[in-house]
Amino acid sequence: MKHARSQQRYGLLPLTLLCLLALVASACGKKVTGATQAGTPTGTASAGSGSEAMPGVAGSIIKVGDLHSLSGTMAISEVAVKNAELLAIDEVNAAGGVLGKQLQVVTQDGASDWPTFAEKAKQLITVDKVATVFGGWTSASRKAMLPVFEQYKGLLWYPVQYEGLESSPDIYYTGATTNQQIIPALDYLKSQGKTKLFLVGSDYVFPRTANKEIKAYAAANGMTIVDEQYTPLGSTEFGTLVNKITADKPDAVFNTLNGDSNVAFFKQLKGAGITPQQMPVLSVSIAEQEVAGIGIQNIVGQLVAWNYYQTTNTPENAKFVTAYKAKYGANQTVDDPMEAGYTAVHLWAMAANKAGTTDVAAVRSAAAGLTYAAPEGTVTIDGATQHLYKTARIGVIQPDGLIKEVSSSPQPIKPDPYLKSYSWWKG
């Protein structure tokens, strides 16, 4: 009996030793896997649906999000931005992808509705688990998405000029901020002797904040604001507004209308007999794409302020325009927000490849100071604000629907989203 018990006791030893060895091997295996991921973060099978260390990675692909208004009043502007971003993604993939993986796009429609932008942004980050998102146009859409990206630690590349007074660790702003578009536009009007301004805009955050900045500039520069009027986004009735402009007799109109409201505004302005020679309108949200929708005959000769035009003379722009027309049609035009969206894709790809991972914090670190030869000219990411150094350009809309540059800054302007370098701005 004693002998039998001894056999049972000693018979358990091999099984016990095997269990201990298995535990040690398992622990060692975890350490080795972790070291491999940290040392060569190019994704593993275990990251198939996107991991915290490598968001977006799914085997041999990396998922990225694209979120624009494909329907509603803002579709007139945003569909083309999406198309330019898809072109850039094609180019990145053709050049070998990111971290040796091909980019796969998950597209969502913000539907010109700000809560929808927030909802779709959350879906892209938490359900689709994309590595980054390219999207937005209006400041209302961006501000709706901002808390979502900050809460879920996502990364948004926002491609449109805006009113400034914002920065977020989870957003890169590849369009102009105030000192790279609105202030140069005001400088130009002042240089042309246009000191009495009528302000017209859509009724949401960008126009109202931009006009607050314009009024502060005007007060410090001997200019007068004769009136300030807002209409709902998507509004098409401008008869009363045009009558006010006629009665006030400003030297120029500063226009921050967005979307297809511009179609009705310029048609009714022309119908009232107001010409660019008599009373120019300077717009900051109308580019080549919108010109076609408004009708060239309704807007030819009017002023715009951007950082890029289809006619911008750089070798990179020639390639961009050719590639876009080859993909979408010879009659297509390109514009500033499209170029900024295209540039955003290339900048993110460069930063992720430099970082060796899609991890947001690592990409952010790698992006600081990154320089890219964009179609608009050389741009540089300012690490402190996550905005770009950009050249300001004033243009005039031509009879062929393109825009001729008539003035530009001598070099790319350092972004100053909070206008800290302007004594007239009190915040």
User: What CATH number is attached to the domain comprising 255?
Assistant: 3.40.50.2300
Specify whether 188 is located in the same domain as 330: no
Among 28-32, 121-125, 216-220, 380-384, the minimum mean pLDDT is found in: 28-32
Specify whether 320 is located in the same domain as 262: no
Q: Is residue 109 part of a domain?
A: yes
C-alpha angle 141/144/148, rounded to 5°? 125
Summarised one tens digit per residue, pLDDT across range 335-371 is: 999 999 999 999 999 999 999 999 999 999 999 999 9
Specify whether 98 is located in the same domain as 130: yes
Closest to 346 measured CA to CA, from 172, 121, 153, 149 = 172
Specify whether 251 is located in the same domain as 339: no
Residue with the larger pLDDT of the pair 384 and 23: 384
CA-based torsion, 356, 52, 343, 303: positive or negative: negative
Q: Is residue 73 part of a domain?
A: yes
Neighbouring residues of 338: CB distance < 8 A, sequence distance ≥ 6: 80, 81, 83, 84, 159, 289, 324
The packing angle between helices 336-355 and 360-367, to 10°, is 110
Q: What is the pLDDT of residue 52?
A: 56
Neighbouring residues of 11: CB distance < 8 A, sequence distance ≥ 6: none
Q: Is residue 3 part of a domain?
A: no
Checking DSSP bridges between strand 252-256 and strand 196-202, what pairing results, if any? Answer: parallel
Q: pTM for the complete prediction? A: 0.86
Q: Is residue 221 part of a domain?
A: yes
For 115-142, what is the mean pLDDT?
98
Summarised one tens digit per residue, pLDDT across range 197-238 is: 999 999 999 999 999 999 999 999 999 999 999 999 999 999
Specify whether 255 is located in the same domain as 297: yes
CB–CB of 343/374 below 8 Å?
A: yes
Q: What is the pLDDT of residue 427?
A: 73
Specify whether 130 is located in the same domain as 208: no
Q: Is residue 420 part of a domain?
A: no
Total domains present in the chain:
2
Which range of residues forms the domain containing residue 263?
179-309+394-408
Specify whether 288 is located in the same domain as 370: no
Q: Is residue 6 part of a domain?
A: no
Specify whether 403 is located in the same domain as 287: yes
Specify whether 205 is located in the same domain as 279: yes
Work out the mean pLDDT of the chain and round it to a whole number.
90
Residue with the larger pLDDT of the pair 41 and 288: 288
Q: Is residue 1 part of a domain?
A: no
C-alpha span between 133 and 174 (Å, rounded): 13
CB–CB of 162/336 below 8 Å?
A: no
Specify whether 112 is located in the same domain as 95: yes
Specify whether 235 is located in the same domain as 255: yes
Q: Is residue 346 part of a domain?
A: yes
Specify whether 118 is located in the same domain as 231: no
